[in-house]
Each structure stands twice: as C-alpha cells, then as structure tokens.
Copies of this chain bind each other. A is one copy, B any other.
Amino acid sequence: MPDPDQALLASLLGPAGPMQRRALAKTITLLESTRADHRLRADELLNAVLPHTGRALRLGISGVPGVGKSTFIEALGLHLIGRGHRVAVLAVDPSSSVSGGSILGDKTRMERLSSDERAFIRPSPAGRTLGGVAEKTREAMLVCEAAGHDVVIVETVGVGQSETAVANMTDMFVLLQLPNAGDDLQAIKKGVMELADLVVINKADLDPDAATRARAQITSALRFLGPHAAAPAQVLQLSALKGSGLDEFWAAVSGFNERQRTSGRLAARRRAQDEAWMWDRIEAGLRQRFKQHPAVRDALPAITDDVLSGRLAASVAARRLLDLMD
C-alpha cells in the first residue's frame, strides 16, 4: 500500500474528528472513482478496514417521495446523536446520475444533522447501473463502520429495484408510509412491502384516524406477505416533524436487532448478503464482458430483434450468442 494510503488508513481508523472526516470523504471518493488505479487502491483500503467493520447497526430506509424521509432521518439522526451514537447517512439513488444527485444531494436538506460533526452524510454515488451505484454505497458503508459510526442509515427512493438492493445490504429495512391508506398505498412498488422488517406510518399527527386505519390494513397485509410470516413486521405510527414516536421507533429497531443478533439470524443474514453481493458483482462483470465481446456486440442487435419479432426462440438465441464467444 502506498504511503499516502497508509496515512489515509491511519486517519480512518484513528480518533473521530475533522481529520477522520476528511479521510472518510477521501476514501469514499477513491472507491467511487472509475479510474483503474484508484480502484486498486480502494480495494486495498477496503480489505484493510474490513476487520474493523461489522459492529454497526445497518438500517435501510425507503418510502415514496413526499413521505418525509429527510425529515425522519434528520430527526432520527439527531435523536441518536443525543444518545451518544455516531451516525452515517448514505444513499442509493440510481437516478442521481441523470438528475445530478437528487437524494441527499441538496445541501439544504438535513441541515442540522449535516452540520453536526458526529454525523457523516454522503449523497448517492453517480452510476449507470443500480448494481454499480449500490455496490459503491455498500463499500462506503463498510468504510463508515471502520471509522466508528455505529449506526449507518442507507436511504433510497422508490426507484425500480433500489429497495431490494438496500434491503440486501442492511440488517433491517424500514418502509415509511403515509397515513392515507387509500390511493397512496398503491404507489408501493411490487415486492417492496414484503422487504419491510418494520413499517412506519409517518405524519400520523395529520390524520390520526387515517393513520390508525392504515396501521390495521398494513398489519393485515403483512400477515400475508412479510418475510417473517411467523412474526410479521411491526407497524408503528409517528410524526418525524414533531419528533414524537422516535423513542418507540428506536426501541423497535433495537429490539429487532437484538433478537436477530442473539438468534444468529443477523450473522446468517450478513453472510448470505456477502455471498449474494459477490455473485451479483461477478454476474455484472460477466454480463459486461459478454456485451463488450466484439462478435457478440456485432450480432446482439439483430438477434435481439429476431427474438422480439418471434423469428427466433429465446433459448436458441442465447445459445447462438454464447457460441460466438468461443
């Protein structure tokens, strides 16, 4: 490892403070870089910090636009900092390369939390694929843990499969909902509700009756579809704006985490996540090599067209394309 990276590593693993914050930002910039030499250095740093990771609580948070994610995360972050935690907030937003970084990119969002030196906030990395964006966030999460952040919050918007990616890198996936259970709940993307380890009805103060109805409806739906059918996900109400319900929320998170830890499910979940991430990246790499193979690149458009217009069976097309690689 080159000397500057040794110094970077020492700052990362050293005491909290401005020096560590700069090291954190610099390391994450390195691992977000597309330059091959940066990537090699980032990989070495990543392996060096790895023994210092794993002690944080990794919390995924999602919800449709307007549900109040920023307000909730800021309130939660300040609440946790007040109780002695060090909080990192990261984001997965595959649209950020198009929009110029919508999520957490706006400096005026989470103003109080971002100005507190016990918090570290980083917007979503840019990237062309969700897998790539998510991978960089996952690596940033490990670096934040090594730097001593004991709660890492990974935020995502409801864009395609980004919720699945975040659920697959965290210990607990929290879905924020609005109290009006009718039409707005239909905005829940296919498959998202059942990722939830905990559902939070935010803005419950606006319409307490609607919030109570939503809670009952979601509780009933989760009995059918949650990942823990035997012990369905809890549903809470709170108001992030008024700061009410945060104690109950954190008690639910801590309780879930404690049960996961003592039962061995946390360790199993993380091992399964590690293996799945490795294969996800391998498959992304194989796909990229395939598409860049000259013979495949030449033939792919016409063969795809033949499949889409019903002239060639999909399985036959796949075999022909694979044969081109030999």
Contact = CB atoms under 8 A, between A and B. Distances in A.
A22 interface: no
B225 A218 contact: no
Given A190-B227, A221-B220, A285-B322, A312 B277 contact: no
A305 B278 CA distance: 12
Interface in A184-243: 185-188, 190-191, 193-194, 217-218, 220-221, 223-225, 227, 229-230
A225 B281 contact: no
Given A142-B313, A191-B191, A278 B290 contact: no
A46 interface: yes
Contacts of A319: 39, 43, 281, 285
Interface stretch (A47-55, A69-77, A102-110, A151-159): A47-55
Interface in A15-55: 39, 43, 46-47, 50-51, 53-54
A186 B325 CA distance: 46
Interface string A302-326: 0010011011111111110110010
A282 B304 CA distance: 12
A315 B227 contact: no
A316 B274 contact: no
Nearest to A226: B190
Contacts of A217: 220, 224
Place the interface of chain A in its size category: 35 or more
Among the interface residues A188, A227, A313, which one has the most CB atoms of the partner chain B within 10 A? A313
A179 B224 CA distance: 14
A275 B225 contact: no
Contact of A282 (B185, B221, B225, B322): B322
Given A314-B281, A316-B46, A319-B43, A274 B308 contact: yes
A39 B271 CA distance: 38
Interface string A274-292: 1101111111011101100
B321 A274 contact: no
Contact of A50 (B218, B221, B312): B312
A171 interface: no
A290 B286 CA distance: 8
Nearest to A282: B318
A1 to B, nearest CB: 14
A53 to B, nearest CB: 8
10 contacts: A43-B319, A47-B312, A142-B313, A186-B229, A217-B220, A225-B225, A271-B308, A274-B307, A278-B304, A283-B287
Interface of A: 39, 43, 46-47, 50-51, 53-54, 135, 138-139, 142, 185-188, 190-191, 193-194, 217-218, 220-221, 223-225, 227, 229-230, 271, 274-275, 277-283, 285-287, 289-290, 304, 307-308, 310-319, 321-322, 325
In the A-B complex, the 8 residue pairs with the smallest Cβ-Cβ separation, listed nearest first, are A281-B318, A277-B314, A186-B229, A286-B286, A278-B314, A285-B322, A221-B224, A46-B313
